[in-house]
A and B are shown apart, each in its own frame.
Chain A
Amino acid sequence: MADFVNHILTLEDSWIGYIVAALVAAVLILHVVAVGALLFIWMERKISGRIQDRLGPTRVGGKFGWLQTLADGIKLIAKEDVTPDLADKFLFKIAPYVGLAASYAAFIALPFADGVVGQHVNTAVFFVLAVLGLEVFSVILAGYSSGSKWSLFGAMREAAQVVSYEVPLGMCVVVPVMICGTMNLTTIANMQAGFFTNWLVFNDPFTFLTAIVYFTCATAGVNRAPFDLAEAESELVAGFHTEYSGLRWSLFFMAEYSSMFIVAALASILFFGGSHGPIPIADVLGLLSLDNLGSSDPAFHVFNEDGGGFFASLNLEIAIARFLGVANLLLKGTIGVTVMMWVRWSFPRLRIDQVMTMCLKYCVPLAAVGFLGATAWQALDLPTGNSLMNSPRYSHHELWTADDSESTVEEASSNEVQTPHEDDTHAAAKAVELKTVPVSVVKGGER
């Protein structure tokens, strides 16, 4: 993107291109956060309404009350921004922004489809989890600075809970990383291309277990019911945001909903095929060659630097593939969020000791079992869901590792998909020819 801007402006590797690219990406992602929150809050109200046998919003915006959140947002903006006397004013005011910034920043490395990503990060998994983990600061800050005992209770709970749940969460995330051999989310997603049997959740029983544990821990990590202890309204009035009102309060909400989406999207990338649908429709119908998706440097699929100009270089096939990919990922993320909502409106809340018990006695051991089991499964080379259909994951995987060792290349020869020659350069050349070189590892690394 930066190179494309520089190319248009006929600048050579200038910082201006990077600034413009960053701004465009930031604005686009902001829309995902804001519009996503808008949609999810509306969805939550509608879903809770249906679960509770009522209608939910029906009027604002014509049918289905789909503009209800916007109306609420306008109301919230118009409300007085109260800061309590006892509050630590600076921290109190800054806390909601910290939370929103954390969940917003995590979107930077989240690939919506192959190549549709704010910034390619080779350790995207790590980046997203680390940045999302910063969100806990906002809750602790809010609770500490509010000058209210209820807020303090909320913050204490949040600190204990979120920090504990990061342990099993991290252990679960390690499993796909271990299987795919990369921390790059785009590569992980691409390795699951093809039929849904390729999804890592169906890789072996242990990844299935891991996916469930991941989702549980993610729900706890973003403070959703039944783990929403930090804002347990029946005990702590409103928990950490008791003293907040107006826009600041709504920022907490936006942060909550966008981090819900982030963890759900992360789940879909790590376990549920990311931007790849359950059935590669376009590929089956022959519209697109599946191999094209992982073909070249992600940043230059649509904007080709040597094509000269925007339209001349527009690769329609890949643009469609990306569009479908983004739709897939958004859909999967939304399904994940919906499940969280479904759980929230069905279950009572756990008690703090039960939440900690759940983490330390169940989630951590289960995650450990999942990790060890999945490792053993890989090490023993047992049959995986991947081998049910003719699949490209091994080709991706092994071509990537082919750079490092020849032994894996030899193993790859057992795979029907392709048989790279032992000669590395020949293999690379052939890979380019077959267009199956995985994304960004070869070229993306340079960027």
Chain B
Amino acid sequence: MASSKIDDPRVIEFDVRTDEMLINMGPQHPSTHGVLRLVLRTDGEVVSDVEPHIGYLHRCAEKIGENLTARQWVPYTDRMDYLAAMNMNLGWSLVIEKMLEYDLPERGRHLRVIISEMGRIASHLVAMGTYGLDLGSFTPFLYGFREREKILNLFEEACGARLTYSYLTPGGATADLPADWTGKCRQFLAEFKEVIPELHTLLTTNSIFVSRTAGIGVMSAKMAIDYGCTGPVLRGSGVYHDLRFHGEERYTEMYDGYVFDVICADPATGKYPESNYEFHGDSLDYPEIPRQAVLGDCWHRFYVRMLEVVQSVRLVEQAIEKYEATSGDWGTPIKLVQKLPVKEAYMETEAPRGQMGFYVVGNGESIPWRVRARSSSFCNLSVTAPLCQGILLADIPAIVGSLDVVMGEIDR
């Protein structure tokens, strides 16, 4: 009974008892990535408890989906994960195609790979930049946005929009890529590959960055699986799972004939796959893993994203070649009032932030009876509370930022 007083491992300082303070971090706060609200229980700088509150960006997107036709709802998917709108479009398009048992022509398939992987690059660039911002470094943010801007320019050329594209639609895409788009895309990739080492210098290998992220917010593989984490958050914990490899056939066949690695450390050795990717004769070497880093910490989650960008570059390069080699139809978008069969369909795709699933139930009408989205950020956010116990206040942006949540996708 002697030591029964302090059993709570979260109580760090017990020699001088001070009052705890409840603090609202958000919904208006610079580093909560939108309108996330965290209620912190702090004792000085030490945060003993974090409780995330969500719902500040809820727009009833799913309910709206039950009042619109399948094609009409595409713009609403844009506004879910607004940083990777192309990938959201893709997820919705694929689930409707699955329902209609529609098969995309070859050219459309490669077009989708180009677009969705470019979307992944853009999204990871924002994730990288804002993570730097969370840790107090402004410059990587602008470096990331500068490159993202070039991707947005390319997207704008393809579909006319810069943020909410509605480009990939059920049945294909609203238009084929313009003439000479692939040339510009190639040029971008060539420029971008020069920039990646700069980004690594600014953050990945920066010693302050490493000391802020390595060993912070360590999540075991079991915990990541238990909480339903997906995407880079899951792979950062050393779980080899990427829907582009392990997903449904309808999705993985999109990547048939493509060569790329799943970026994930081998839990046994802690090593990432070798960079066997050559660029103008120089291999794009991955930076060394610092010795302070523990598998599943913030640094690894960040690192996985940085390496995935390289894999996406690799995919886009292959896709451009394949796209140029094919000709003909890129797919016909379904009619605005396309009737959906009486059945249900669910499909998950590998969006930049994890597995984005859409669920549709049709009742023979053109307006679906039920629409539901499974959000990756939502599950990824759920680890915030267990990860943020007994840490310092400054670690909260580091941990939440490494999860890379987008509130538009969580609240829908």
Contact = CB atoms under 8 A, between A and B. Distances in A.
A48 B135 contact: no
A52 to B, nearest CB: 4
Given A228-B136, A234-B136, A237-B29, A348 B142 contact: no
A13 interface: no
Contacts of A233: 30-31, 136
Given A51-B139, A226-B136, A237 B30 contact: yes
Contacts of B29: 237
8 contacts: A52-B142, A234-B31, A237-B29, A346-B137, A347-B137, A351-B395, A352-B45, A354-B212
A59 B139 CA distance: 23
Q: Which of B30, B202, B396 has the most CB of A within 10 A?
A: B30
B357 to A, nearest CB: 31
Given A52-B139, A348-B132, A235 B21 contact: no
A401 B63 CA distance: 88
B228 interface: no
Given A156-B44, A348-B132, A235 B393 contact: yes
B209 interface: yes
Contacts of B132: 348
Q: Which of B135, B146, B396 has the most CB of A within 10 A?
A: B135
B136 A52 contact: no
Contacts of A347: 136-137, 206, 208
Contact of A346 (B135, B139, B142, B392): B139
A219 B79 CA distance: 43
Interface string B372-412: 00000000000000000000111111000000000000000
A353 B136 contact: no
A53 B142 contact: yes
B211 interface: yes
Contacts of A435: none
B134 interface: yes
Interface string B203-215: 1001011011000
B279 interface: no
B393 A348 contact: no
A352 B392 contact: yes
B143 interface: yes
B189 to A, nearest CB: 19
Contacts of B146: 53
B23 interface: yes
A360 B202 CA distance: 27
B139 A349 contact: no
A390 B136 CA distance: 48
Chain A contact-residue range equals: 20 to 34
A338 B336 CA distance: 59
B354 to A, nearest CB: 23
A345 B138 CA distance: 6
Contacts of A41: none
B304 interface: no
B124 to A, nearest CB: 18
Interface in B140-177: 142-143, 146
Interface in A206-250: 225-226, 228-229, 232-237
Contacts of A150: 23
Interface of B: 21, 23, 29-31, 44-45, 132-139, 142-143, 146, 202-203, 206, 208-209, 211-212, 392-397
Contacts of A353: 45, 392
A348 B208 contact: yes
Nearest to B395: A351
A63 interface: no
A234 B138 contact: no
Contact of A52 (B31, B138, B392, B395): B138
A196 interface: no
B139 A345 contact: yes
Contact of B21 (A54, A149, A157, A349): A149
B18 to A, nearest CB: 12
A226 B44 CA distance: 21
B44 to A, nearest CB: 7
A66 interface: no
Nearest to A226: B208
Nearest to B393: A235
Nearest to A345: B139
A330 to B, nearest CB: 27
Given A348-B203, A350-B212, A48 B138 contact: yes
Contacts of A346: 137, 139, 202
By Cβ-Cβ distance, the 4 closest A-B pairs, closest first, are A349-B136, A348-B135, A348-B137, A52-B142
A53 B136 contact: no
A420 to B, nearest CB: 52
Contacts of A104: none
A257 interface: no
Given A225-B136, A348-B209, 5 more contacts: A53-B142, A150-B23, A235-B31, A235-B393, A237-B29
A350 B139 CA distance: 16
Contacts of A153: 45, 393
Contact of A348 (B23, B212, B395): B212
A234 B134 contact: yes
Nearest to A229: B394
A351 B143 CA distance: 24
Nearest to A48: B138
Contacts of B212: 348-351, 354
B394 A53 contact: no
Interface in A329-351: 345-351
A149 B136 contact: no
Given A348-B137, A348-B212, A349-B135, A235 B396 contact: yes
A48 B23 CA distance: 32
A54 B393 CA distance: 32
A336 B203 CA distance: 24
Interface string A6-38: 000000000000000000000000000000000
A345 B202 CA distance: 10
Interface string A335-377: 0000000000111111111100000000000000000000000
A52 B149 CA distance: 14
A51 B137 CA distance: 12
Contacts of A237: 29-30
Contacts of A345: 138-139
Q: Which of B133, B203, B393 has the most CB of A within 10 A?
A: B393
Contacts of B203: 348
